[in-house]
Structure 1
Amino acid sequence: MRDFSRDHAWLSINTATIRKQGDLLQISEACARHGIRAISPWRDQVAAVGLQATKAAVRRHGFKLSGYCRGGMFPADASRRQEARDDNRRAVDEAAALEAACLVLVVGGLPQYSRPGSAVSLDMALARTQVEDGIGELLDYAKSAGMPLAIEPLHPMYAADRACVNTLGQALDICDRLDPARTGALGVALDVYHVWWDPELHAGIRRAGLARLLAFHVCDWLVPTRDLLLDRGMMGDGVIEISKIRQAVEAEGFAGFSEVEIFSEADWWTRPMDEVLTTCIARHRSAV
């Protein structure tokens, strides 16, 4: 396993981690100031400052993009399916323009939450079918753009509204059906916050192998958790064996960035940007 204790060369900042403290250009300046060489921006943040301004900032600071957040939200009723197709193709185009390592897919849950305005449905099996069909359709377009797609399994508490793919095994099943040759065009974004609890996690990491491991996200699970979405912990403040999971990922040959992604309305989003980044650097060295 790589030694992170001496520098933060393999730290990436998912820009949601400091989204409340500034816009994407301010975040870029701060990351550069702290010697951080990789980021993973969110589409709404890019839209707020403009794609061309984002490209210029990435080029100016020499950033790598460990990923781009996010595509997905595939389930929809008939009136919203074209919207989902078009939106995901735009996400691929944006990721390609920014030369991101992958487009992260948060696949969606029931249609009324994935694509507001869709008719209410409680059919989870249908939602999962729409997810796989949507990824399969998008995959052809993404291949033409040279943009790998990374399915991010989310914790089961998000099954209804954010992602009905909830385990690494589910995500890999989709990958194997749609990309049986393991071409590198389709894989997973492994976020420890969502998968740490899974008794099949380490077997799944071995099954994924290097070809499927496209991104690695870190933060921590707090006990108690005050908010199911907006109370992620800084690495080392919770109960996840982050370094053990990284060891398993790196045993398969993964040598990319460890991407810090923290949603923290009551804590880290209230602190100065430089304090958050300084803490991310320190914890990346000691807890990742």
Structure 2
Amino acid sequence: MNTPPSQRLGAGTPRLSLNRWTLRTTPIQEFLEAAASHGIDAVGLWRQDVEEVGLDALRRRADDAGLRVSSLCRGGFLTVADETARAASLEDNRRAIDEAAALGAPTLVMVVGGITREDKDISAARARVAENIAALAPYAETAGVTLALEPMHPMFTADRAVIATLDQALDIAEGTGSDAVGVVVDTYHVWWDPALEQAVARAGEAGRLLSYQVCDWNLPLAAEPLFSRGYMGDGFIDVPAITRLVTAAGYTGDIEVEIFNEDVWATPADTATAIVAERFEQLVLPYATPEHEDDHPFS
């Protein structure tokens, strides 16, 4: 198994990692500098950054800013039925694994893919995800990278992820028999799940809780619902309660703040980063240590 996240933590703002898409429209160098200037020592990067800057240059920029890379987003989109398209998808995911390894990112976040109007067999699509993740697992093991399957809110099932619950993701991860496959708990996507408490505990017991991402659920939904994420405390998610669940399950790694919101993107990077750090210290960090656990996090 790879080095536990708790052994990869640095000395900056405890546990906080700033996901690149929280400041999506900010130039990459300004993003890195904003994170570093606020005492954040980890960032979650996207493959678009690799394409824009170049793999080696991006690693150097992060290193020069004193930043670790907590995750790379994203791999996945593994539901295609056509064999030629499947082969291309697997090859692209191997490249993503290589990129994560080169960046020093322990985890590649996997958005598994949706269905099409032509092929609406969702059960078959889920089966292909399981098959393809199992095919990628040995490559990830060799590279020293973990694959974190991301269940997404059911409204994204058609176009982004046929996995909607943490239990579904865990079934696939466990089915691979590989320690390199696990799950990411993203508050935006899982907060509604009535089985969340048991599923998070299951992930922890199985050693498959690889990443934790936080934001809030804002209303009214944006025209693009994916952009309805907000700063913690602005919406309807009980972030402290979910953080206690994740902590009780044994997760001690980086906690990424991942916000997709056009108003946040329009905010100066320094201001937005300061708000993220403040809300993290108020609503996440106090509940991310074992001494603040309780027996019933949702009570």
Q: SS state of the match for residue 83, structure 2? A: coil
Query: In the alignment, is residue 197 of structure 1 matched against residue 192 of structure 2?
Result: yes
C-alpha distance 111-132 of structure 1, shift in aligned 2 (>3 A) = farther
The question of 1:175 aligning with 2:195 is answered: no
Quick one: distance in 2 between partners of 1:133 and 1:161? 19
Q: Quote the Cα distance in structure 1 between the aligned partners of 2:29 and 2:139.
A: 29
Q: Check conservation: 2:219, 2:228, Cα contact below 8 A.
A: no
Query: Is 1:188 paired with 2:183?
Result: yes
- Pair 1:84-2:81 in alignment: no
Q: Give per-residue Cα distances to partners, 1:58-91, cap 9 Å, x unaligned.
A: 2222322221101000112233112101100000
Using the alignment, how far apart are the partners of 1:55 and 1:65 within structure 2?
A: 9
**Is the 1:69–1:104 Cα contact (8 Å) retained in structure 2?**
yes
Which residue identity is paired with 1:185?
A
Provide the rounded CA distance (Å) in 2 between the counterparts of 1:111 and 1:64: 37
Please, what is the CA RMSD of the aligned residues? 1.4
**C-alpha displacement of 1:240:** 0.6
- Aligned-residue offset at 1:111: 5.1
* Alpha-carbon contact 1:75-1:111 (below 8 Å) kept: no
Deviations 1:82-120 (A, max 9, x none): 2101100000000001111211100001157xxxxxxx3
2:287 matched to 1:283?
no
Alignment-derived partner of residue 56 in structure 1: 60
Counterpart Cα distance in 2 of 1:130 and 1:84: 12
Question: 8 Å contact 1:25–1:54 — kept in the other structure?
Answer: no
How many percent of aligned residue pairs carry the same amino acid? 45
Written as runs of structure 1 = structure 2, the 5 A alignment for 1:124-143 is: 124-143=122-141
Contact 1:12 1:40 in 2 (8 A): yes
The size of the alignment, in residue pairs, is 270
Partner of 2:233: 236
Whole-angstrom distance in 2 between the partners of 1:238 and 1:21: 24
Q: CA deviation at 1:184?
A: 3.4
Deviations 1:161-217 (A, max 9, x none): 1000010010011112112xxx63111010000000000000001111161110000
Alignment of 1:63-78 (within 5 A): 63-76=67-80, 77-78=82-83
1:27 shift after superposition: 1.1
Q: Is the 1:101–1:147 Cα contact (8 Å) retained in structure 2?
A: yes
Code of the aligned partner of 2:265: W
Q: Which of 40, 46, 64 in structure 2 is aligned with 1:42?
A: 46
Question: Which whole-Å CA distance do the structure 2 matches of 1:176 and 1:21 have between them?
Answer: 38
| Residue pair 1:13, 1:40 contacting (<8 A) in 2 also | yes
Other structure's SS at 2:31 match: helix
**Does residue 146 of structure 1 match 2:144?**
yes
Asked if the contact 1:73/1:107 (under 8 Å) is kept, the reply is: yes
Deviation at 1:34, TM superposition (A): 1.6
For residue 14 of structure 1, the aligned residue among 4, 16, 19 is 19
Give the 4+ runs in structure 1 shifted more than 6 A. Answer: none
Task: Give the match for residue 210 of structure 2.
Answer: 214
SS of residue matched to 2:78: coil
Q: Is the 8 A contact 2:197 2:245 kept in 1?
A: yes
State how far apart, in whole Å, the 2-side matches of 1:253 and 1:287 are.
19
- Please give the alpha-carbon distance, in whole angstroms, between the structure 2 residues aligned to 1:60 and 1:17: 21
The unaligned stretches of length 5 or more in structure 1 are 1-6, 113-119
Gaps of 5+ in 2: 1-11, 285-299
TM-score for the superposition, normalised by structure 2:
0.87
TM-score (norm. length: structure 1): 0.90
